[in-house]
């Protein structure tokens, strides 16, 4: 079993109908390819975790990485894992709450996950939270 994590930025804000269409397609394909995972969306970023057979996960990521609906994709090295972390989710989509840090959203979603997977997701979430804090500080200074 293999997993990978990436983060990206939406190219533009998608309306709920577009998001539903994206998720329907993702779930359909992931069911077919026995891929499970989560997608966390906080309006400015996507954080996605995919798990399954290595060939299927890499093929899925290859399609995702050329999708014009997002850009600035950064992925971490894939990891071998002993078991599925999200066996019930072809693709769970969580919108993090506006007043919430990405880190606490990840922590809530990964309570039953193995430490190495939590680490991978938190690496991105913490970097993202630091970037948001930096922006807030800059906005605060210039105001
Ligand atoms: C943020 C984001 C997450 C996506 N996640 C998945 C996914 O988990 N599985 C998937 O098959 N496609 C996903 N897609 C869609 C793919 O980029 C691509 O459009 C789709 O796989 C094409 O499938 P098709 O060839 O069956 O039309 C995602 C797209 C975006 C922008």
* Cα–Cα distance measured from residue 12 to residue 19, given in angstroms and rounded to the nearest whole number: 12
State the distance from the centre of ligand 1 to the C-alpha of 69, rounded, in angstroms.
10
- Can you say whether the dihedral through the CA atoms of 77, 125, 28, 53 is positive or negative? positive
Report CA-CA distances (Å) from 126 to 15, 54, 95, 133: 27, 26, 17, 10
The DSSP bridge partners found for residue 7 are 47, 74
Q: Is the CB of 60 under 6 A from ligand 1?
A: yes
Tally of structural domains, the chain:
1
Query: CATH code at 14?
Result: 3.30.70.100
- Find the range with the poorest average confidence among 12-16, 21-25, 95-99, 128-132: 95-99
Protein residue with least CA distance to atom 23, ligand 1:
25
Q: Convert the pLDDT of each residue in 11-70 to its tens digit.
A: 998 888 998 999 999 999 999 999 999 999 877 889 999 999 999 999 999 999 999 999
Q: Is the CB of 91 under 6 A from ligand 1?
A: yes
**pLDDT recorded at residue 127:** 87
pTM for the full model? Answer: 0.90
Domain of 126 in residue numbering reads as: 2-142
State the distance from the centre of ligand 1 to the C-alpha of 139, rounded, in angstroms.
35
């Amino acid at each position: 079993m293999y997993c990978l994590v990436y983060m990206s930025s939406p190219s533009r804000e998608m309306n709920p109908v577009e998001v539903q269409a994206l998720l329907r397609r993702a779930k359909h394909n992931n069911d077919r390819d026995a891929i499970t995972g989560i997608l966390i969306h906080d309006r400015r970023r996507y954080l996605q975790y995919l798990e399954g057979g290595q060939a299927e996960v890499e093929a899925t990521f290859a399609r995702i990485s050329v999708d014009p609906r997002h850009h600035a994709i950064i992925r971490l090295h894939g990891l071998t894992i002993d078991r599925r972390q999200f066996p019930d989710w072809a693709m769970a989509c969580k919108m993090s709450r506006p007043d919430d840090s990405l880190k606490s959203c990840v922590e809530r979603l990964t309570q039953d996950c193995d430490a190495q997977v939590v680490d991978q997701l938190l690496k991105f979430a913490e970097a993202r939270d630091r970037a948001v804090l930096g922006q807030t500080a800059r906005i605060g200074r210039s105001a």
